[in-house]
Amino acid sequence: MNRSAPVVFAAVLSAVAASVAHADRPGADWMPIQQVIEKVLKSGFTLVSKIEADDGRWEGEGIKDAQRMKFHADPKTGEIISARPDR
């Protein structure tokens, strides 16, 4: 077995992890998270229990109309793009 294989594998794994972590950060031109939460609450949600940057948008969970929901919000405006029940 090649002795350098584990070292190469570790380096590749570290590079992949770094690129994934970088992809899940808000962009410089994104609306600040607190303002997004305020917009989500104004749109009818009574609670935001989770929110994070994911796949180029804000993604979160909360309560709307007494139901657990997942939502996506526009990164620059904070407007809800989509919402669906969290099952």
Please give the pLDDT value at position 77: 97
In this structure, the strands spanning 45-54 and 80-85 are unpaired
**Residue 34 lies in domain:** 5-85
Please give the pLDDT value at position 9: 45
Instruction: Return the CATH number at 24.
Output: 3.10.450.40
Query: At 65, phi and psi to the nearest 5?
Result: 55, 40
Task: Return averaged pLDDT per consecutive 10 residues of the chain, 87 residues in all.
Answer: 53 43 79 97 97 96 97 97 94
Please give the pLDDT value at position 22: 47
Please give the pLDDT value at position 20: 41
* Number of domains within the chain: 1
Please give the pLDDT value at position 6: 56
* Greatest alpha-carbon span in the chain: 60
